[in-house]
Structure 1
Amino acid sequence: MKTALITGATKGMGRAISLSLAHEGYHVIACARKQDDLLRLEKEIQEVNAGVKVYLRSCDFADPEQVRSLCVWLEREVEQVDVLINNVGLFVPGHFLDEDENALRQHMQVNVFAPHALSRTVTKSMKARSEGYVFTISSVAAREAVPSAASYSVTKSALAGLTNVIREELKQHGVKVTEIVPGSTLTSSWDGTTVPASEFILPEDIAKAVVSVLSMSEGANVDKIVVRPRRGQI
């Protein structure tokens, strides 16, 4: 059985991916900020598939020291990660001229620096084994700048670039890399909206995309998958 590491695992797309991979028989290393949420996810995973192992690791990805601690733990304690899902993300709306002066730095830490550090840590052993898979959960904002989410757009563009670099460096070593590019997805960032759920992408749609990619033949690599709401962005 293979092991998947999911960041931001307890909510939205991360939760859906965690449950879907557990259903497929993957052991799950779930990382998120709140221990209570992790324990709740562990119970949900065990209800989906009692035969998989669940490892919980609390980490505030906005804190560089906690990210470093997670990387050290992975290198020392985790024998093998077969699939890395760089899902954790920060979204704080704000226009370029109006947002807080620290907004870009804060977004960079969560949306770029954290997946950069985790990918460097995990892919070293993937390269040595000549196998493994890295997913980054990007956004359509990486390609179509959203003025009301300035720093978010900038950092998702950087994440897309990071994904391309990882893919190009590791493809000759048998490591596959896919960028998942969702549009408006019904997660907690849309709490309070009056838009019907039927107009959104659902977190389960993104989970299905990940499972589908993982089921492809050894020789196939999906560079990116773009998923948009049927009527366009909300």
Structure 2
Amino acid sequence: MKTALITGATKGIGRAVTIAFAKQGINVAICSRNQQDLLDFEAELASVAPGVRVISMVADCSKRDDVKNFAVFTEKNMGFVDIVVNNVGMYTPSSILNDAENTFQKQIDTNLMPAHELYRFFGKRMVSVGKGHIFNICSVASLNPVVEAGMYSVTKYALLGLNNVMRLEMQEHGVKVTAIIPGSTLTDSWRGIEVDKDTMVLPEDVAAAITSIVNMSAGANVDQLIIKPAKGQL
């Protein structure tokens, strides 16, 4: 059985990916800042995929020590981690000139740092066995900046850049790295805004794409995958 680590797993894309993996018989290690959310999600996973092992840990992935502790906890309890999904992120709708004083560091610590730390932790382990797959959940803002969300765009650009360096470092070792680049997706970022879900990408769409990529042959890698609403960005 494979094992996957997913950050920010109780909501949105992370939640959908975790469920999709569990249904495929992949053991999962998940984290969230909220203990009750984790307990509720574990119970749900036990009902939809009773044969799958689930471990969880309360972690604030904007804190380096929490990220490292989650990695150590997962390896100690699950052994080799085949798949890492760097999903955790935050969206702040603000121009850079109007940002709060701590926005710059908070966005870097949430949208970029966890992927860097988990890559450094699991990358050498994957190289040593010649297998593994790292997914980085980027954004269309990684390709075209959203001026109304300046630092979000900057950090997502940086995450795509990190992804591309990861892929080049890993490809000679048989380790795969994929950037997932969703457009307008129905996640908590849209909470409080009235939208038509039929005009958006759903988290389950992203999860279906990721599981399809995981199931490809050993010799195939998807460098990056862009998923946009059929009718265009909202």
Matched, 1:188 2:185: no
Aligned residues: 234
Aligned residue in 2 for 1:124: 124
> Equivalents in 2 of 1:159, 1:99: separation in Å?
20
Give the CA deviation at 1:71.
Answer: 3.3
> Equivalents in 2 of 1:109, 1:55: separation in Å?
24
**Unaligned 5+ residue runs, structure 1?**
none
Aligned residue in 1 for 2:113: 113
Contact 2:5 2:74 in 1 (8 A): no
Contact 1:75 1:121 in 2 (8 A): no
Aligned residue in 2 for 1:38: 38
> Equivalents in 1 of 2:105, 2:187: separation in Å?
23
Aligned residue in 1 for 2:215: 215
Identity %: 45
Give the CA deviation at 1:47.
Answer: 1.2
- Name the SS of the counterpart of 1:135 in structure 2: strand
- Cα distance change of structure 1 residues 17 and 75 upon mapping to structure 2, 3 Å threshold: closer
> Equivalents in 2 of 1:104, 1:145: separation in Å?
16
Aligned residue in 2 for 1:227: 227
Show CA shifts across 1:150-196 (max 9, x none): 11000000000010011100111110010000001001111122221
Aligned residue in 1 for 2:86: 86
TM-score between the two structures when normalised by the length of structure 2: 0.97
- Name the SS of the counterpart of 1:194 in structure 2: coil
Contact 1:19 1:44 in 2 (8 A): no
Aligned residue in 2 for 1:162: 162
Contact 1:71 1:117 in 2 (8 A): no
- Name the SS of the counterpart of 2:80 in structure 1: coil
- Name the SS of the counterpart of 1:220 in structure 2: coil
What one-letter code is carried by the residue in structure 2 that aligns with 1:149?
Answer: A
What one-letter code is carried by the residue in structure 2 that aligns with 1:83?
Answer: I
Show CA shifts across 1:83-114 (max 9, x none): 00000001111101111132111000011111
- Name the SS of the counterpart of 1:97 in structure 2: helix
Show CA shifts across 1:27-55 (max 9, x none): 01011111111111111111111000001
Contact 2:64 2:117 in 1 (8 A): no
What one-letter code is carried by the residue in structure 2 that aligns with 1:197?
Answer: K
Aligned residue in 2 for 1:173: 173
Q: Which moved more, 1:21-30 or 1:65-74?
A: 65-74
Counterparts of 1:30-69 in structure 2, within 5 Å, are: 30-69=30-69
Give the CA deviation at 1:77.
Answer: 4.4
- Name the SS of the counterpart of 2:96 in structure 1: coil
Contact 1:13 1:87 in 2 (8 A): yes
What one-letter code is carried by the residue in structure 2 that aligns with 1:141?
Answer: A
Matched, 1:7 2:21: no
What one-letter code is carried by the residue in structure 2 that aligns with 1:224?
Answer: Q
- Name the SS of the counterpart of 1:148 in structure 2: helix
Aligned residue in 1 for 2:146: 146
Give the CA deviation at 1:76.
Answer: 4.4
Give the CA deviation at 1:74.
Answer: 4.0
- Name the SS of the counterpart of 2:159 in structure 1: helix
Show CA shifts across 1:62-92 (max 9, x none): 2222223223434544411000000000111
- Cα distance change of structure 1 residues 71 and 27 upon mapping to structure 2, 3 Å threshold: closer
Contact 2:185 2:202 in 1 (8 A): yes
Matched, 1:135 2:155: no
TM-score between the two structures when normalised by the length of structure 1: 0.97
Aligned residue in 1 for 2:18: 18
